[in-house]
Amino acid sequence: MRVFSFVALTVLSFTSFCYAAGPVVLVKHQEQYNGYMKLPRLSEVVTTVNTVPALYWPAARLYKTDPESVNALELQRQELLKVLANLKQAYLLDDEAELAASTEALSQDVKNWVLAEQLFLALDPDKVRAKPALNPILRAGQYLLQVENRSETITVAGFAQNTEVQFINAADASDYFAGIKPLAGASSSFLYILPAAQQVIQAKIGLWNSQRQDVPAGAILYVPFEQRNLPSEFENLNQQVIELLQHRVVL
């Protein structure tokens, strides 16, 4: 009796597999793939990988990696690179070689970013399971779920030589800035913090405006260009970089 039903089940699932021609949602986590034949709720996806207590969910990021999503970001990247090239030209015309070099350095950096569409959703399984509003059904497609142990480093992007700094306990954004080697033209008044799945935070770190702002583990720090160094037609440059940086897959 048991055997029969087992066989029946296998056949059934096999047929449905053939019919659907593969899972509708495929989630990659730490080089493993989890497929879902039916559109899953977020809680199913996050609990599946929640196997050890050391996973640090506050820094978890969920990316949609389908070609459509990635292509849209690729266009955005090309736009940004064009802007940066123009800015560099403008600096060269003004004999601002150092600023042009900084712009070029950021360009190179942006070219190397791995991009995927970050979804701004709370991912902690305990939060997601407790509240229906935090537990939506995901759209069909391919995803990348990044959740690791609490990171010992903070990623740095923008007008800085460093690509990362050591995580510091209970530190203010300005403590991190002290460990960053800024490129020429970088702001010494502001630092942007990009926590996982949250809005960007503008930290005030200058002598004239400093205000306490902690940096969460797993965040990305963006060192912006000092606003007064930007010609007026490039005044939104920092915002443009941040918009793209939100969708950078930090490896």
Partner 1 sequence: MPKYAAIFYSVAFLSLAGCSNTVRTYTDTLKLAFNPGEGATLTKEQLADRKADALYATVGTLPRAQLALAYIEHGQYKWISADNAFLVLEHGRLVKTTGFDNDLLFVTGTDKDPLKQPMTKIQPGQQWQGATDWAVHQETGYKISYEIADIRVDKIELLDRQFDTKLVTELVTFSNGETAVNLFWFDLSSGLLLKSQQHIAPFWPAVELIHISSAARLMGIAKSGSRK
Partner 2 sequence: MKKLYLSTVITALLSPVSFAETNQPSPNTYSQMTQGGVGLIQMPTARHNEAGSFSLNYQDSEEYRFWSASLQLFPWMETTVRYTDVRTQLYSEDPTFSGDQTYKDKGIDVKFRLWQESEFLPQISAGFRDFGGTGLFESEFIAASKRVGPFDFHLGIGWGYLGSKGNIDNPFCDIRDSFCERPGGFSGSGGKIDYQKFFKGPAALYGGIEYQTPWAPLLLKLEYDGNNYQQDKAGVLLQDSDYNLAAVYRLNDAFDLNVNYQRGNTFGFGVNYKLNFNTVKQIKLDPPAKEIPVVLPTATDSLDKAELRRDLYLNAGFLVNNYVLKDEEIVLKGRQIAYRDEAESINRVGRVLANHLPEQIKTYRIVTISGDMPMVETVINAEQFISAARYETPDADVKTSYQRVEPEVQNENWAVERDETGFGYSAELFWIQTFGNPESFYMYQGGLFLGGVYQFNTNFSLQSTAKINLLTNFDQFNFKVDSQNTGVPRVRTYIREYVTRSDVTMENLYGHWKDELADNWYGQVYAGYLETMYGGVGGELLYKPIDSTLAVGLDLNYVRQRSYEKELAFFDYKTFTGHLSFYWKPQFLDDTMITASFGQYLAKDKGVTIDFAKRFDSGIVVGAYGAFTDMSAAEYGEGSFTKGFYVSIPFDLFSLKSATGRGRIPWVPISRDGGQMLNKPVSLNGLTEDRAPFVR
Binding site for partner 1 (CB under 8 A): 50-53, 56-58, 124, 126-127, 130-131, 150, 167-171, 193, 195, 201, 213-217, 219
Q: Token match 């495929």: residue?
A: 26
Chain positions 168 to 197 lying near partner 2, rule: CB under 8 A, are 170, 188-189
x-marked contacts with partner 2 along 22-61 as a string, rule CB under 8 A: --------------------x-------------------
User: Residues 195, 216: contact at Cβ < 8 Å?
Assistant: yes
Smallest CA-to-CA distance from 224 within 167, 196, 195, 183 is with 183
d(CA 251, CA 249): 6
Q: Which of 115, 138, 203, 244 binds partner 2 (CB under 8 A)?
A: 138
x-marked contacts with partner 2 along 81-120 as a string, rule CB under 8 A: --------------------------------------x-
**Nearer of residues 135 and 155 to partner 2, judged by Cβ:** 135
Q: How far is the CB of 197 from partner 2 (least distance, A)?
A: 11
d(CA 195, CA 60): 9
CA angle (248 as vertex; 245, 251 as ends), nearest 5? 135
176, two tokens: 């991190």
User: Residues 223, 164: contact at Cβ < 8 Å?
Assistant: no
Q: Confirm or reject binding of residue 216 to partner 2 (CB under 8 A).
A: no
Task: Report the partner that residue 159 touches, choosing among partner 2, partner 1, none (CB closer than 5 to 8 A by kind).
Answer: none
d(CA 70, CA 115): 6
| Count of residues making up the chain | 251
Q: Confirm or reject binding of residue 75 to partner 2 (CB under 8 A).
A: no
**Nearer of residues 80 and 119 to partner 2, judged by Cβ:** 119
Q: Confirm or reject binding of residue 206 to partner 2 (CB under 8 A).
A: yes
Task: Report the partner that residue 121 touches, choosing among partner 2, partner 1, none (CB closer than 5 to 8 A by kind).
Answer: partner 2
Q: How far is the CB of 217 from partner 1 (least distance, A)?
A: 5
User: Residues 213, 173: contact at Cβ < 8 Å?
Assistant: yes
Q: Which of 47, 162, 210, 240 binds partner 2 (CB under 8 A)?
A: 210
Alpha-carbon distances of 66 from 54, 70, 117, rounded to whole Å: 29, 6, 9
Q: How far is the CB of 124 from partner 1 (least distance, A)?
A: 7
Q: How far is the CB of 211 from partner 2 (least distance, A)?
A: 6
Q: 153 phi and psi, to 5 degrees?
A: -130, 160
> Strand 117-119 relative to strand 153-158: parallel, antiparallel, unpaired?
unpaired
Contacts of 236 (CB under 8 A, 6+ apart): none
Interface residues with partner 2 (CB under 8 A)?
42, 119, 121, 132-133, 135-139, 170, 188-189, 206-212, 214, 228
